[in-house]
Structure 1
Amino acid sequence: MEVRRSRRRTKTVSAFYEGGRAVVAIPDRFTPAQEREWVDRMVARLQRAERRRRPSDDALAQLAEQLSAQYLGGRARPESVSWVTNQGRRWGSCTPATGTIRLSHHLQGMPAWVLEYVLLHELAHLLVGGHGPRFWALLAGYPHTERARGFLEGVVHAEQRAAVADEDARSA
């Protein structure tokens, strides 16, 4: 954790992650007591936001239940929902026979509507295999389907461009 004091900052305090660590930016005029108070407050705020963006497996299961109830009439009931680190090319996967849903850890930190879309997508696979019209009809009620799909396509595109740039740099 790092505290950054700024003479230009007069009233506002902000907190963010940079290079994997928390940074709290405060006005230079703050006393040590004010610094401690604001650092504690802002770190707690960062941690709350992080928990919302990176829910636990239990929280994923609760979210799956909510999404199923709201968009699938409660018909999709997974046995388990968990984060996994071994999915390099998929955002999520589902095994209907066992009711198991696995979500790529690469989704952690993405906007909530993207995570919800991927989870709802896998829940729909508990009801319909494949990606035919019946499957997409199940997702039609989720208002962020197209936006989330576009977001994920953009992520893949950016990763592919970065890989090509890396390859070009190595071969130069």
Structure 2
Amino acid sequence: MTVDPDLGPVEVRRSRRRSRTVTAYREGGRTVVAIPAKFTRAQEREWVRRMLDRLRTQEQRRRPSDDQLVRRAAELSSRYLGGRAVPSSVRWSGNQGRRWGSCTVGDGSIRISDRLRGMPSWVTDYVLLHELTHLLHAGHGPEFWAELEAYPRTERARGFLEGYAFAERAPGDEVDGDGTPTGAGEALHPRGDRDG
């Protein structure tokens, strides 16, 4: 077993059932690369390198850095809000509780929950755009939602987040009459406020 600086421990599994295919996946904190048993050591090294590069690229796409988050927020503001929303900072945050994101209108800072890391990019885009829109409209009034209508996946992303929140709720959590966790209707701000 080797250790990759980005992906951690790497285990190579040879299989007699495999004749040509190679796969790589995460399992219990390590990366597993499954290769055909007949591969030479040189083929093994080459395919492990290829698959680790592919996984690393996928991880970076799914888990952008703070700098990438800032750049994406600028792109979304430009595309959907005419560049009018200009945050002072955008960063990942591990203390959002049940929130997906928060915006402090007074200082223009946006925090995005670490729980979004690994979710589809269109969901993260929605949350970023939601928080950017708070820089233009502090509340969740009609003007706020009218701005978000420009994003074509608003309803889909809201549904995704509500479903995720429902699935992650603990047994015994309060739910509304339709089975939705209490507060999930406002998936981003369960208490209705905007700052973190």
What's the TM-score, normalizing by structure 1?
A: 0.92
Q: Which of 148, 151, 155 in structure 1 is aligned with 2:157?
A: 148
Q: State the distance in 2 between where 1:46 and 1:164 align.
A: 34
Q: State the distance in 1 between where 2:118 and 2:24 align.
A: 16
2:83 maps to: 74
Q: Secondary structure at the match of 2:26?
A: strand
> Is residue 162 of structure 2 the alignment partner of residue 164 of structure 1?
no
Amino acid at match of 1:64: A
2:176 maps to: none
> Is residue 103 of structure 2 the alignment partner of residue 87 of structure 1?
no
Q: State the distance in 2 between where 1:28 and 1:93 align.
A: 50
Q: Which moved more, 1:23-32 or 1:115-124?
A: 23-32
Q: State the distance in 2 between where 1:83 and 1:127 align.
A: 21
What's the TM-score, normalizing by structure 2?
A: 0.81
Deviations 1:13-32 (A, max 9, x none): 11111122211111111111
Q: Secondary structure at the match of 2:46?
A: helix
Amino acid at match of 1:78: P
Q: Which of 48, 51, 65 in structure 2 is aligned with 1:42?
A: 51
Structure 2 counterparts to residues 1-172 of structure 1, below 5 A: 1-160=10-169, 163-164=170-171
Which structure 1 segments of 5+ residues have no match?
Answer: 166-172
Q: State the distance in 2 between where 1:29 and 1:106 align.
A: 41
2:3 maps to: none
Amino acid at match of 2:47: W
Q: State the distance in 1 between where 2:27 and 2:81 align.
A: 39
Q: State the distance in 1 between where 2:28 and 2:97 align.
A: 22
Amino acid at match of 2:151: Y
Q: State the distance in 1 between where 2:85 and 2:124 align.
A: 17
| Structure 1 residue ranges, 4+ long, deviating more than 4 angstroms after superposition | none
Which structure 2 segments of 5+ residues have no match?
Answer: 1-9, 173-196
CA RMSD of aligned residues (A): 1.0
Q: State the distance in 2 between where 1:36 and 1:142 align.
A: 44
Determine which structure has the larger helix proportion and give its number: 1
